[in-house]
Amino acid sequence: MHIRNNAKRIILYVVLIALALIMLVPFYWMLISSLKLNKDVFSLPMKWIPDSFHFENYKVIWGKLPLIMFFKNTSKLTLFTTVIQLFTSCFAAYGFAKVKFRGRNLLFILYVTTIAVPWQVYMVPQFVLMSKLHLTNSHLGLILMQAFSAFGVFLMRQFYISIPDELCEAARIDGLSEYGIFGRIVLPLGKPAMATLVIFTFVNVWNDFMGPLIFLNSTELKTIQLGIRMFISQFGAEYAWIMAASVCALVPVVLLFLFFQRFFVEGIAASGIKG
């Protein structure tokens, strides 16, 4: 029996390692393509290890386009949106999880149901609204449109529900206000879920392409995702430079995930404890 269990465990590990390697193939292809000449990116048969490495691609892309400006714009949008969305989601989730009022569950269900509505459905009305408010072609418009998240509220509420109500009741008896309970008890205990929400929001906003494409016209306001698209011209595309810029754009996301990885796993696990 012991030998059989070890054999099953070894097979499971082999399968998991194989799946992990398969998942890493696109990232390896992107990285290795960024070190090739443009004509060799889609050469057949594909060379997993090129004959020569062209590290100058990473130097060229910074001179061809104002990538520093694009990175600053993307960082600005991402940081402001993440902070505001974290603030609004935590407050709303506390109300839905720990504050009792009439119609709370119905209101929560109606709000969370909006997750099922694709962005393409309300994209045009949203653009019309932003146009009437004169918020198109501005970073403020993009930030305000993503300041509230039904998914963020759902994630935080599921985590807050797992916090014992006895803690909040004891704090109320001691005379602590709802803001005090939220700030001193619930918020500190919710750090794993907050880290999870930060990662999801950061990645979504950082990699957003359609939003900036629709609402931003000025080059000085464009994000890194729109900047990478500028390597595609009417007569062709510089795929090696595109891959090099994509690798640079991926670095902040990878660093953020590595930094919050422990909290991310804990937050995902804890948010499903009690529903």
Distance CA 190, CA 264 (A): 12
Within a domain: residue 15? Answer: no
pLDDT at residue 75, as a whole number: 94
Q: Tell me: the pLDDT tens digits for 169-190?
A: 888 888 888 888 888 888 888 8
- Contact (Cβ atoms closer than 8 angstroms) between residue 85 and residue 149: yes
Distance of CA 80 to the CA centre of its chain: 13
- Residue 82 corresponds to which tokens in the numbers above? 């993440």
Within a domain: residue 19? Answer: no
Within a domain: residue 34? Answer: no
Residues 6+ apart with CB under 8 A from 75: 252
**Residue 233, H or E segment:** strand 232-233
Q: Tell me: the pLDDT tens digits for 228-250?
A: 888 877 556 788 888 999 999 98
| Cα angle: 133, vertex 71, 256; to 5 degrees | 105
Within a domain: residue 25? Answer: no
Q: Tell me: the pLDDT tens digits for 102-157?
A: 888 899 999 888 888 888 888 888 899 999 999 989 999 999 988 888 999 998 99
Where in the sequence is the domain holding 117, given as residue range(s)?
56-270
Can you give the pTM of this predicted structure?
A: 0.83
Q: Are strands 236-237 and 232-233 parallel, antiparallel or unpaired?
A: antiparallel
**Residue 236, H or E segment:** strand 236-237
pLDDT average, residue stretch 154-168: 86
pLDDT average, residue stretch 22-38: 88
**In the structure, what pLDDT confidence band is assigned to residue 269 with cuts at 50, 70 and 90?**
low
Within a domain: residue 4? Answer: no
pLDDT at residue 45, as a whole number: 79
- Contact (Cβ atoms closer than 8 angstroms) between residue 89 and residue 152: yes
Within a domain: residue 217? Answer: yes
Residue 44 has pLDDT above 80, yes or no: no
Helices marked H in 207-271 — which ranges? 210-215, 224-229, 239-270
Looking at residue 125, which CATH number applies to its domain?
A: 1.10.3720.10
Q: Tell me: the pLDDT tens digits for 80-94?
A: 999 999 999 999 999
Within a domain: residue 47? Answer: no
pLDDT at residue 118, as a whole number: 85
Residue 271 has pLDDT above 60, yes or no: no
Say how many domains are in the chain: 1
10-19, 84-93, 158-167 — which is least confidently predicted?
Answer: 158-167
pLDDT at residue 81, as a whole number: 95
- Contact (Cβ atoms closer than 8 angstroms) between residue 259 and residue 270: no
Within a domain: residue 41? Answer: no
Among residues 94, 252, 247, the alpha carbon closest in space to that of 182 is found at 94
pLDDT at residue 270, as a whole number: 53
Residue 275 has pLDDT above 50, yes or no: no
